[in-house]
Homo-oligomer: A and B are copies of this chain.
Protein backbone atom coordinates (compact mmCIF):
# COMPACT_ATOMS: atom_id res chain seq x y z
CA UNK A 1 0.00 0.00 0.00
CA UNK A 2 1.15 3.50 -0.83
CA UNK A 3 0.12 4.94 2.50
CA UNK A 4 2.31 2.45 4.30
CA UNK A 5 5.43 3.53 2.45
CA UNK A 6 4.69 7.20 3.12
CA UNK A 7 4.09 6.66 6.81
CA UNK A 8 7.33 4.75 7.14
CA UNK A 9 9.16 7.70 5.65
CA UNK A 10 7.29 10.12 7.90
CA UNK A 11 8.10 8.16 11.05
CA UNK A 12 11.72 8.07 10.00
CA UNK A 13 11.96 11.80 9.37
CA UNK A 14 9.88 12.85 12.37
CA UNK A 15 11.95 10.72 14.71
CA UNK A 16 15.20 12.08 13.32
CA UNK A 17 14.31 15.76 13.22
CA UNK A 18 11.31 16.35 15.42
CA UNK A 19 7.94 17.68 14.36
CA UNK A 20 8.89 21.23 13.53
CA UNK A 21 12.25 20.64 11.92
CA UNK A 22 10.85 17.91 9.73
CA UNK A 23 9.77 19.36 6.40
CA UNK A 24 7.12 17.97 4.14
CA UNK A 25 9.66 18.29 1.36
CA UNK A 26 12.03 15.90 3.08
CA UNK A 27 9.30 13.45 3.96
CA UNK A 28 8.10 13.30 0.38
CA UNK A 29 11.69 12.92 -0.79
CA UNK A 30 12.32 10.03 1.56
CA UNK A 31 9.02 8.45 0.59
CA UNK A 32 9.99 8.78 -3.05
CA UNK A 33 6.87 10.68 -4.06
CA UNK A 34 5.95 14.26 -4.78
CA UNK A 35 4.61 16.63 -2.19
CA UNK A 36 1.10 16.86 -3.65
CA UNK A 37 0.80 13.09 -3.32
CA UNK A 38 1.86 13.35 0.27
CA UNK A 39 -0.97 15.80 0.87
CA UNK A 40 -3.42 13.76 -1.13
CA UNK A 41 -2.78 10.65 0.90
CA UNK A 42 -2.23 11.89 4.40
CA UNK A 43 -3.54 15.45 4.62
CA UNK A 44 -1.75 18.22 6.42
CA UNK A 45 1.49 17.94 8.34
CA UNK A 46 -0.38 17.82 11.62
CA UNK A 47 -2.71 15.12 10.41
CA UNK A 48 0.24 13.13 9.14
CA UNK A 49 1.98 13.39 12.49
CA UNK A 50 -1.11 12.38 14.41
CA UNK A 51 -1.58 9.43 12.10
CA UNK A 52 2.02 8.37 12.69
CA UNK A 53 1.54 8.49 16.43
CA UNK A 54 -1.67 6.53 16.24
CA UNK A 55 -0.16 3.85 14.06
CA UNK A 56 2.98 3.41 16.11
CA UNK A 57 1.10 3.44 19.37
CA UNK A 58 -1.16 0.74 18.08
CA UNK A 59 1.75 -1.34 16.82
CA UNK A 60 3.50 -1.17 20.15
CA UNK A 61 0.46 -1.91 22.22
CA UNK A 62 -0.27 -4.87 20.01
CA UNK A 63 3.27 -6.15 20.39
CA UNK A 64 2.97 -5.95 24.15
CA UNK A 65 -0.54 -7.37 24.25
CA UNK A 66 0.65 -10.28 22.16
CA UNK A 67 3.63 -10.91 24.40
CA UNK A 68 1.92 -10.70 27.76
CA UNK A 69 0.57 -13.85 29.43
CA UNK A 70 -2.62 -12.82 31.16
CA UNK A 71 -3.34 -16.03 33.08
CA UNK A 72 -0.05 -16.13 34.96
CA UNK A 73 0.95 -14.70 38.30
CA UNK A 74 1.39 -10.90 38.41
CA UNK A 75 5.18 -11.04 38.33
CA UNK A 76 5.16 -13.26 35.29
CA UNK A 77 2.71 -11.00 33.57
CA UNK A 78 4.92 -8.00 34.20
CA UNK A 79 7.96 -9.93 33.08
CA UNK A 80 6.40 -10.98 29.80
CA UNK A 81 5.19 -7.46 29.21
CA UNK A 82 8.63 -5.97 29.75
CA UNK A 83 10.20 -8.55 27.51
CA UNK A 84 7.73 -7.73 24.77
CA UNK A 85 8.35 -4.03 25.26
CA UNK A 86 12.11 -4.29 24.96
CA UNK A 87 11.71 -6.62 22.03
CA UNK A 88 9.59 -4.04 20.25
CA UNK A 89 11.85 -1.13 21.06
CA UNK A 90 14.90 -3.06 19.96
CA UNK A 91 13.39 -3.59 16.56
CA UNK A 92 11.62 -0.26 16.19
CA UNK A 93 13.77 2.53 17.41
CA UNK A 94 12.19 5.13 15.11
CA UNK A 95 8.67 4.10 16.06
CA UNK A 96 9.37 4.52 19.68
CA UNK A 97 10.96 7.90 19.34
CA UNK A 98 8.27 9.42 17.21
CA UNK A 99 5.74 7.92 19.51
CA UNK A 100 6.90 9.05 22.83
CA UNK A 101 9.47 11.79 22.59
CA UNK A 102 7.96 13.87 19.86
CA UNK A 103 4.36 13.43 20.78
CA UNK A 104 4.85 14.64 24.30
CA UNK A 105 6.23 18.02 23.24
CA UNK A 106 3.62 19.05 20.70
CA UNK A 107 0.45 20.26 22.31
CA UNK A 108 -3.12 19.91 21.21
CA UNK A 109 -4.29 17.17 18.85
CA UNK A 110 -1.29 14.95 19.51
CA UNK A 111 -1.69 14.89 23.24
CA UNK A 112 -4.93 13.01 22.66
CA UNK A 113 -3.25 10.17 20.83
CA UNK A 114 -0.53 9.92 23.42
CA UNK A 115 -2.92 10.15 26.33
CA UNK A 116 -4.91 7.35 24.82
CA UNK A 117 -1.93 5.06 24.67
CA UNK A 118 -0.61 6.00 28.06
CA UNK A 119 -4.05 5.36 29.50
CA UNK A 120 -4.09 1.90 28.00
CA UNK A 121 -0.59 1.15 29.28
CA UNK A 122 -1.38 2.50 32.71
CA UNK A 123 -4.52 0.40 32.85
CA UNK A 124 -2.49 -2.69 32.25
CA UNK A 125 -0.03 -1.96 35.02
CA UNK A 126 -2.69 -0.67 37.35
CA UNK A 127 -4.62 -3.90 36.82
CA UNK A 128 -1.53 -5.82 37.81
CA UNK A 129 -1.15 -3.80 40.97
CA UNK A 130 -4.79 -3.92 42.04
CA UNK A 131 -5.08 -7.63 41.26
CA UNK A 132 -3.20 -8.37 44.39
CA UNK A 133 -5.57 -8.31 47.37
CA UNK A 134 -3.25 -6.49 49.68
CA UNK A 135 -2.45 -3.50 47.47
CA UNK A 136 -5.25 -0.93 47.81
CA UNK A 137 -3.62 1.36 45.28
CA UNK A 138 -5.62 4.45 44.37
CA UNK A 139 -6.05 5.36 40.73
CA UNK A 140 -3.58 8.20 41.16
CA UNK A 141 -1.02 5.94 42.76
CA UNK A 142 -1.32 3.33 40.06
CA UNK A 143 -1.09 5.95 37.38
CA UNK A 144 2.02 7.56 38.76
CA UNK A 145 3.76 4.25 39.30
CA UNK A 146 2.89 3.26 35.77
CA UNK A 147 4.33 6.54 34.54
CA UNK A 148 7.51 5.84 36.45
CA UNK A 149 7.68 2.36 35.04
CA UNK A 150 7.19 3.59 31.52
CA UNK A 151 9.90 6.20 32.02
CA UNK A 152 12.27 3.65 33.45
CA UNK A 153 11.64 1.45 30.47
CA UNK A 154 12.19 4.27 28.07
CA UNK A 155 15.36 5.43 29.73
CA UNK A 156 16.74 1.95 29.95
CA UNK A 157 15.87 1.38 26.33
CA UNK A 158 17.84 4.45 25.46
CA UNK A 159 20.80 3.35 27.56
CA UNK A 160 20.55 0.05 25.77
CA UNK A 161 21.03 1.75 22.42
CA UNK A 162 24.51 2.69 23.58
CA UNK A 163 25.24 -0.84 24.80
CA UNK A 164 23.88 -2.98 22.01
CA UNK A 165 25.94 -5.97 23.06
CA UNK A 166 23.46 -6.81 25.81
CA UNK A 167 20.61 -9.10 24.74
CA UNK A 168 17.07 -7.84 25.12
CA UNK A 169 16.28 -10.47 27.73
CA UNK A 170 19.06 -9.36 30.04
CA UNK A 171 18.00 -5.75 29.90
CA UNK A 172 14.39 -6.65 30.50
CA UNK A 173 15.38 -8.84 33.46
CA UNK A 174 17.33 -5.99 34.95
CA UNK A 175 14.33 -3.66 34.91
CA UNK A 176 12.16 -6.50 36.18
CA UNK A 177 14.46 -6.87 39.16
CA UNK A 178 14.43 -3.18 39.87
CA UNK A 179 10.70 -2.76 39.83
CA UNK A 180 9.78 -6.07 41.41
CA UNK A 181 12.43 -6.58 44.02
CA UNK A 182 13.50 -3.02 44.55
CA UNK A 183 16.95 -1.78 45.40
CA UNK A 184 16.35 -2.84 48.96
CA UNK A 185 16.43 -6.49 48.04
CA UNK A 186 19.03 -6.04 45.36
CA UNK A 187 21.58 -4.60 47.72
CA UNK A 188 20.93 -7.60 49.95
CA UNK A 189 21.72 -9.91 47.09
CA UNK A 190 18.15 -11.08 46.54
CA UNK A 191 17.19 -11.21 42.87
CA UNK A 192 14.14 -12.17 40.93
CA UNK A 193 14.33 -15.02 38.41
CA UNK A 194 12.06 -15.96 35.57
CA UNK A 195 9.67 -18.78 36.56
CA UNK A 196 11.53 -21.53 34.70
CA UNK A 197 14.50 -21.17 37.07
CA UNK A 198 12.59 -20.99 40.30
Contacts and interface: CB of A to CB of B under 8 A. Distances in A.
Interface of A: 16-21, 74-75, 78, 101-102, 104-107, 118, 122, 128-129, 132, 134-137, 140-141, 143-145, 147-156, 158-160, 163, 166, 171, 174-175, 178-189, 192
Contacts of A143: 159
Given A136-B189, A149-B178, A183 B78 contact: yes
26 contacts: A18-B107, A20-B21, A74-B187, A78-B183, A101-B104, A101-B105, A105-B105, A122-B159, A129-B186, A132-B188, A135-B187, A135-B188, A135-B189, A140-B163, A145-B183, A145-B186, A147-B158, A148-B152, A148-B175, A148-B178, A149-B152, A179-B179, A180-B182, A181-B184, A184-B192, A185-B185
A15 to B, nearest CB: 8
A180 B179 CA distance: 8
User: Secondary structure at chain A's binding surface: helix, strand, loop or mixed?
Assistant: helix
B151 A154 contact: yes
Contacts of A101: 104-105
A192 B187 CA distance: 15
Q: How many copies does the complex hold?
A: 4
A134 B179 contact: no
